[in-house]
Amino acid sequence: MKRPLSLTMDADLFAKLDAHLFPGDADEHGAVVAVGVSETERGTRMLAREVFLARDGVEYVPGSRGYRALTAQFVAEKSGYCSDEKLGYLAVHCHGGRDQVEFSSDDWASHERGYPALLDITGGGPVGALVFAKNAVAGDIWTENGRYPLDHLTIVGRRVQRLYPKPRRHGRRGERSFDRQARLFGDVGQEILAGLKIGIVGLGGGGSLLNEWLARLGVGHIVAVDFDRIDLTNLPRVVAATRWDARAFLTARKSAFLRKIGKSIAARKVRVARRVAKAANPLVHFDAVVGSVLDEEVAHLLRDVDFLYLASDSVQSRLVFNALVHQYLIPGAQIGAKVSVDPSTMEITEVFTATRLVLPHPGRGCLECHGLIPAARLQLEALNESERRAQRYVDDPEVAEPSVITLNVLSAGQAANDLMMMFTGLFEESAPLGHLFNFVRERTVEAVGPQTNTRCPDCGMESRSRRARGDRVRLPCRMTRR
């Protein structure tokens, strides 16, 4: 297991746990958190799937060697459940104080007595303990490969927060070029942005805008995924794309042979995106991934991003995006524009853009719950159309796909601001987090409230859902050929 080791929890689950641990009585309370696991080069993330609250005096009782303890029956039931579900087991209790916390000597002794056996019961865990104070958490985590401290807890909600065992020192004042924007969210906010790893799937009109803006915001690491190349029709909307990138000296010829050669050697969209991002911010770490998110190997590169954008509108890509968000507890947003056409008159009837914020807990924008991953469309795309032809703005197959950069700006701009507000803590507590639609011809904006299906395979509460299971279930991708 790689270090650092962290825990990610959605804001609703954290609120449930926090209310139980700190009801205002200044006493100690207990619980168990069941977690999935994801291991990448950035470290190991435990992913909170469920919280089991121990009832005071029934399941959390006076201890024989410490102040209080979970009962043997409660531990057996919850560790057995975690074993059956292939989840890790974390025992939780609280101490007094604020902003700093550590285990007591009795806590350490109880870990030595109990966790080697629990590691066997759960089939390798991880198992361990968390101790909370207000605004602080510490952890002692046992795995088959060793014993590790918890580096931090990330709480994913309208504000993405991190809790540590003790207050962290922040770096010195940031680079001067970011001075004007740091006046909005401070040097600490700028430091947070510099530490983010952001994924963008689709580097066409909307994705290319996001790419440049994130680089200019000072995001430290961008992973850009697209299989496509630049062509002449991309030039009005893909940021900084040139006629040379499109190999116009070949693709604009009358000869079909020369056009084919030109298209085959045109610049990759992700290469253009890398050039743009580096020009905007030379310090950005940029991964240009030539491939499709539908492939398992490519999708796995996005498991540890801090935020994920989907700027590709095939239903298959929505399926994988939604799975990544909920399986790995990654907040994200899907963006796009739509033009509806009356098939009888071929007249445009509606022009709108969509920004769909998707947070990894029930009722927070899940694309499946909103009916945006219809099985019929999945089957049609898989069997009857290539991936690019499936990504349409217009419903009628005889109408060429319109794509206008000014429409892309509306959906991408909101999505970029959503990320900035979430990670720098500027979102209002009352801010609605639903999907936003901008109807351009009418100059109106509409919000769609949360849709929830408790049986959802992605965000649902049933045992079959993929929510927070991490690496222990497969993503709905094509298997990588060896």
Q: What is the architecture, at CATH level 2, of domain 186-228+268-448?
A: 3-Layer(aba) Sandwich (3.40)
Strand partners, 56: 60
Strand partners, 295: 478
pLDDT tens sequence for the chain (482 residues): 457 999 999 999 999 999 999 999 999 999 999 999 999 999 999 999 999 999 999 999 998 888 899 999 999 999 999 999 999 999 999 999 999 999 999 999 999 999 999 998 888 889 999 999 999 999 999 998 899 999 999 999 999 999 999 998 876 666 788 888 889 999 999 999 999 999 999 999 999 999 999 999 999 999 999 999 999 999 999 999 999 999 999 999 999 999 999 999 999 999 999 999 999 999 999 999 999 999 999 999 999 999 999 998 799 999 999 999 999 999 999 999 988 888 888 888 899 999 999 999 889 999 999 999 998 877 777 754 454 454 445 444 444 567 889 999 999 999 999 999 999 999 998 888 889 999 999 999 999 988 989 899 999 988 889 999 999 999 999 876 54
CATH 3.40.50.720 residue ranges of the chain are 186-228+268-448
CATH 3.40.140 residue ranges of the chain are 5-163
Report the candidate in 133, 135, 165 with the shortest Cα–Cα distance to residue 149: 165
Two structure tokens written together for 409: 């700006």
**H or E stretch at 17:** helix 11-21
pTM: 0.93
**pLDDT the model gives residue 399:** 44
**pLDDT the model gives residue 122:** 86
- List the CATH code of the domain at 5-163: 3.40.140
For residues 316 and 387, the answer to whether their CB atoms sit within 8 Å is yes
Maximum pairwise Cα distance, the chain: 87
Q: How many residues are there in the chain?
A: 482
For residues 268 and 290, the answer to whether their CB atoms sit within 8 Å is yes
Q: What is the DSSP string of 43-93?
A: EEEEEEEEEEEPPBTTTEEE-SSSSEEE-HHHHHHHHHHHHHTT-EEEEEE
Distance of CA 317 to the CA centre of its chain: 15
| Residue where the block lists tokens 């952001």 | 198
